[in-house]
Chains A and B, each alone.
Chain A
């Protein structure tokens, strides 16, 4: 979905319109909204949850939620796809953090398997989306550890302790990579006037 700025704007306007019509309980608009965004949102959920059944369920719950709360979407405050993605991601992350409490041992192999399969890894994705959004220079300014920790946390929903175990680094190191990485990313993105 590497879209140029014009196409992104057009898509956003179109999705905002579909959301507005969904808020009026227009089922056709809602069906169209689903057609246009479900593959993207399903991919987001599947990456984090790593289980198709759980991802399906989150997708289903998220769209039911979108149907009921489309009226609370405010176009002036966020992009429609960002708003929808946050609904899906928050559900996934809530689930991941709950699982953590249930299972104390962390399966170190699974994220590794994800990296080894033929799909692009988190690092490649971080760079390709950065490219698409013209913030490549911001991401490139991050140090290797920061980049890696942020990519794994963002795309696979790893917690600090999971990151530490996956990257075989002390917890404190990983925490500071994440914190510093986010600070630098913010300074760079805001400084470049790419806030929105």
Chain B
């Protein structure tokens, strides 16, 4: 039986979304969908057709204990503190970033300690806590230097977008980073104001994967690949 024969796939996807497939057939199709975009797209098409029907169900408020239980479950990866300090991604990452920043501080400061430059360093790491991008800047200047410290694989028709994550409110775009795929490539992003001003009260940066030209909504729409806390030196 060929699952990928279009009509067969369409019929299976329809029954999957409707819910009438047997357990074994459900599991098979779900497995296929996770590695095959044609199958995943067939499922999505039927979800788009059928799932709006669920909207007519009269809403029923779940018991109040559900939300705290969810928080408990996701709190395993968080530490107390401010909202951004709670970022699940950051555990371990903050330490990695701090260590790298300290190492850089030593390099930056050793030659001419008498004239410290107000710098800013951000180590952006993925969910595996491995550093991928290094953002640095002179805070009185207007340029962010973005250096790939690990190969950032390019994704077809997608770009990386750099965001400032404020303590409160929405992320703000800082610009697009072309993914070259090469480690140690360096890019420069020009900001409309001085770095110190543009990133005032911003505790962290993040990078998301966006369509060509950047997020169409002005907010991150794709997966967040990297993030990291801003370290201010002097």
Contacts and interface: CB of A to CB of B under 8 A. Distances in A.
A115 interface: no
A101 B18 contact: no
Given A23-B224, A24-B171, A38 B62 contact: yes
A100 B170 CA distance: 46
A185 B19 CA distance: 16
Contacts of B69: 60
Contacts of A16: 217, 221
A60 B69 CA distance: 7
Contacts, number: 197
B53 A154 contact: yes
Nearest to B74: A67
B189 to A, nearest CB: 19
B224 A154 contact: no
B60 interface: yes
Contacts of A179: 11, 15
Interface string A1-20: 11100000000010011001
B67 interface: yes
A149 to B, nearest CB: 9
A43 interface: yes
Q: Chain A interface mostly helix, strand, loop or mixed?
A: helix
A85 B74 CA distance: 20
B156 interface: no
Interface stretch (B42-50, B101-109, B110-118, B193-201): B42-50
A173 interface: no
23 contacts: A1-B59, A16-B217, A20-B220, A20-B221, A25-B86, A39-B61, A39-B62, A40-B54, A42-B59, A42-B66, A44-B57, A56-B66, A63-B70, A72-B223, A75-B217, A81-B51, A125-B56, A150-B18, A155-B54, A155-B57, A160-B20, A182-B15, A185-B50
> 9 tightest A-B contacts by CB?
A129-B56, A71-B223, A39-B59, A97-B23, A42-B62, A25-B87, A182-B14, A43-B60, A43-B57
Interface of A: 1-3, 13, 16-17, 20-21, 23-28, 31, 34, 38-40, 42-44, 46-48, 52, 55-56, 59-60, 63-64, 67-68, 71-72, 74-79, 81-83, 85-86, 89-90, 93-94, 96-98, 100-101, 119-120, 125-126, 128-130, 132-133, 150, 153-155, 157-160, 163, 178-179, 182-183, 185-186, 189-190, 195-196
